[in-house]
Amino acid sequence: MSFLDQKGFVPVAIFFIGLFAMGAGTLATAQNSLPGSALYGLKTTVESVQVSLAIGQKNKAGLHMEIANEKLDEIQRMQTKKFEAKKINQATHIYIANEEAAIATIQNLDAQGKNSVANNEKLESNLLHQQGILEDVLSEVPDEAKIGIQNALNVSKGGLEKAFQMKGKK
């Protein structure tokens, strides 16, 4: 008698398939969550795990930039829906941390002579785009969130200066 012929196999297999589908559905739903929602913690945990598991500094820098862009998208979505400043500040804090990590990682690659022109140009383009978004959002968020957005804008501007310095060395 083979393993597949046993009576208990089909119900157990169905259970695990259902469990996997629910988990995948929850992760997909979490990707669209905003600060304050029940799944936002799962979303930020998945982002952290992705960065931790990334192989190579260029990949880590790229993931940090992607996460920073996602946080800007969240900030824009919250700003248009008139979210509380506390929730906007939560996304802003994560944006700043990831942007600083991306900049530091690329600077480290540059110091090691491993930073490519394409990588630097991607950073520059990303920062310029982000500055435009942050400047637009700054006038629309609640007053309590303006300091965080201004700090994010300062990080982006400082990162752009660093990117230009690295470019000047090449």
* CA angle, 92 then 138 then 48, to 5°: 15
Mean pLDDT of 55-78: 92
Q: Structure tokens of 151?
A: 């700090």
Confidence of residue 11 (pLDDT cuts 50, 70, 90): low
- Spatial distance between the Cα atoms of 48 and 167, rounded to a whole number of angstroms: 29
- pLDDT of 72 over the 70 cut: yes
Chain mean position to CA 148: 17
Q: Is the pLDDT of residue 24 over 50?
A: no
pLDDT: is 24 or 58 the higher one?
Answer: 58
Q: What is the mean pLDDT of residues 135-144?
A: 92
pLDDT at residue 146 in the model: 94
